[in-house]
């Protein structure tokens, strides 16, 4: 592996009264594609800027492999950044933008030509080298920024919301490109984003942050299927949350008397006692929605009756907002797996039944 391990220990950062980072510790492995995910103001960009050297933490330390990098200036760290607004030099051509780090190192002309051409190929920008940045599209600019950040062969590449200024289609394309580049060069990527779908789709691991704290570190699968707390459960994907008291349990099968729906069953590998008040979550796509009451369901299925109060058709799926007899709103997604003659069978104001397997529910945390 060519990348470096990045270790952040007890990093704390205050801007005046604002506590941007609260005692953050994490270790990012060599060559890992690691995402810092959270809403704006959660401290993810501050953490990135501390690793890059643009900010000093109020306390704590940062190591690249075994080197303490805090005493080093940004230009002395073996780390390069892809900036959110591209930060291309407007007075230089694309070629000169990418060659900028090499010119600083006073490389030979032929070497510069060869390396720049190589990285232009990597980001599919051959033929644009004599243009100025303002003649490129947003996606092209971002690819120049990526090439420029990679040409120094850093051991860690920092990406600060690199795709946020692009439209959805392009964003997806560039994300795939980034993933391919990561596979090809194998250095450590630290990717800052507020977009959970970006983070889920390309990361090896994700750190979910909020209000200056790291709430959970895990693989995309872990983060989505086993969120550590309510914030993570609600921030990643969509979820229906119900609070209630555990009334019974047999092995790992719990019965919760929820405030909004009454008793539901759920499976959990964690241990809770009868009388514990917990938060239960069920993802919208794990709920089955039918017009007729489903018969012959196993006994560990939860089943509720309700009425559709809103439908959102989005081609590959429909989203239903269902008012059950007790709870105000329930979100349900139904994939359109086959062609439907007259559109989705379930319409607005239809009476429906919702059901889901107890294994698909999840106890988020004690409350």
Partner 1 sequence: MKSRSGSLYSLPLTTWISLFFLVPMLIVFVYSFLARETGGGVRWEFDLSAYAEIFRQTASGSFIYLDIVGYTLIMAVSATLLTILIALPCAYYIARSKNNTLLLFLVIIPFWVNFMIRIYAWVAILGQSGILNESLLAMGVLKEPIQFLFNDYAVLVVLVYTNLPFAILPLFTTIEKFDFGLLEAARDLGASHNRSLWSVLLPNIRGGLVTAVLFTFIPIFGTFAVPDVMGNSNVFMLGQLITSKLKFTGDYPMACSLSVLILLLSAAGLVVYTVYNNRQEQQHQVVIAEDEL
Rounded Cα distance, 124 and 118, in Å: 10
90 binds partner 1 (CB under 8 A): yes
- Residue 16 interacting with partner 1 (CB under 8 A): no
Tell me the window of 111-119, 131-139, 225-233, 240-248 that interacts with partner 1 (CB under 8 A): 131-139
- Rule CB under 8 A: choose which of 23, 117, 152, 267 binds partner 1: 152
Q: Within 10 A of 179 (CB to CB), how many other CB atoms are there? A: 15
Nearest Cα neighbor of 302 from 332, 276, 337, 277 is: 332
Write phi, then psi, for 81 (nearest 5 degrees).
-120, 140
Residues between 98 and 117 with contacts to partner 1, criterion CB under 8 A: 100-101, 104-105
| Closer residue to partner 1 in complex, CB, 16/328 | 16
Residue among 13, 14, 24, 10 nearest 60 (CA): 10
| Token pair listed for 363 | 């106890």
Residue 301 interacts with partner 1 (CB under 8 A): yes or no: no
Our finding on whether 81 is near partner 1 (CB under 8 A) is: yes
> In the set 13, 115, 141, 148, which binds partner 1 (CB under 8 A)?
148
CB 209 within 8 A of CB 38: yes
Q: Which stretch binds partner 1 (CB under 8 A): 14-22, 34-42, 127-135, 274-282?
A: 127-135
Fill in the per-residue mask, 59 to 78: x = in contact with partner 1 (CB under 8 A), - = not in contact: --------------xxx---
Minimum Å distance from CB 317 to partner 1? 40
Q: How far is CA 247 from the centre of its chain?
A: 35
Asked if 55 interacts with partner 1 (CB under 8 A), we say no
Answer for the pair 293, 354: CB distance below 8 angstroms, yes or no.
Answer: no
Contact status: 91 vs partner 1 (CB under 8 A): yes
Measured from the CB atom, the residue of 42 and 157 that comes closer to partner 1 is 157
**How far from 166 is each of 90, 159, 257, CA to CA, in Å?**
19, 14, 46
Tokens representing 323 are 């008012």
What is the smallest separation between the CB atom of 87 and partner 1, expressed in angstroms?
Answer: 4
Q: Provide, rounded to whole angstroms, the least separation between the CB of residue 80 and partner 1.
A: 6
- DSSP state letters, 47-113: HHHHHHTSS--SEEEEEETTEE-TTS-GGGSSEEEE-TT----TTS-HHHHHHHHHHHTT--HHHHH
Q: Which is nearer to partner 1, 81 or 142 (CB)?
A: 81
Cβ-based nearer residue to partner 1, 144 or 287: 144
313 binds partner 1 (CB under 8 A): no
* Interface size with partner 1, residues (CB under 8 A): 28
The site string for partner 1 over 179-198 (x = CB under 8 A, - otherwise) reads: --------------------
User: In the 3-class helix/strand/coil scheme, how is 23-41 assigned residue by residue?
Assistant: EEEEEECCCCEEEEECCCC
Name the residue among 152, 157, 139, 142 with its Cα closest to residue 99. Answer: 152
Return residues touching partner 1 (CB under 8 A). Answer: 52-54, 73-75, 79-81, 83, 85, 87-92, 100-101, 104-105, 130-132, 135, 148-149, 152
């Amino acid at each position: 592996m060519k990348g470096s391990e990045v270790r952040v220990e007890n990093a704390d950062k205050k801007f005046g009264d604002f506590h941007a980072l609260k005692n953050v510790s994490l270790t990012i492995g060599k060559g890992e594609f690691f995402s810092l995910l959270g809403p704006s103001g959660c401290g993810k960009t501050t953490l990135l800027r501390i690793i890059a050297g643009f900010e000093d933490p109020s306390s704590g330390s940062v190591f690249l492999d075994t080197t303490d990098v805090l005493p080093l200036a940004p230009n002395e760290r073996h780390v390069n950044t892809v900036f959110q607004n591209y930060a291309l030099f407007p007075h230089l051509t694309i070629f000169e933008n990418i060659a900028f780090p090499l010119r600083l190192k006073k490389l030979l002309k032929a070497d510069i030509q060869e390396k720049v051409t190589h990285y232009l190929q990597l980001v599919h920008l051959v033929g644009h080298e004599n243009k100025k940045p303002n003649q490129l599209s947003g996606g092209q600019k971002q690819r120049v920024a990526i090439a420029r950040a990679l040409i120094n062969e850093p051991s860690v590449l920092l990406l600060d919301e690199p795709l946020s200024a692009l439209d959805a289609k392009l964003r997806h394309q560039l994300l795939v490109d980034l993933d391919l580049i990561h596979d090809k060069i194998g250095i450590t990527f630290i990717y800052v984003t507020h977009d959970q779908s970006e983070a889920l789709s390309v990361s090896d691991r994700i750190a979910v942050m909020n209000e200056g704290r790291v709430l959970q570190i895990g693989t995309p699968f872990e983060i989505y299927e086993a969120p550590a707390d309510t914030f993570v459960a609600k921030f990643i994907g969509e979820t229906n949350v119900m609070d209630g008291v555990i009334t019974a349990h047999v092995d790992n099968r719990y019965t919760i008397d929820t405030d909004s729906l009454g008793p539901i069953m759920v499976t959990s590998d964690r241990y809770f006692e009868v009388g514990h008040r917990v938060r239960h979550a069920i993802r919208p796509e794990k709920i089955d929605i039918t017009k007729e009451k489903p018969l012959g369901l196993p006994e560990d299925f939860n089943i509720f009756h309700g009425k559709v109060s809103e439908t959102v058709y989005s081609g590959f799926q429909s989203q239903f907002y269902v008012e059950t007899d007790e709870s105000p709103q329930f979100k349900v997604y139904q994939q359109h797996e086959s062609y439907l003659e007259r559109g989705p069978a379930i319409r607005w104001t239809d009476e429906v039944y919702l059901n889901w397997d107890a294994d698909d529910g999840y106890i988020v945390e004690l409350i």
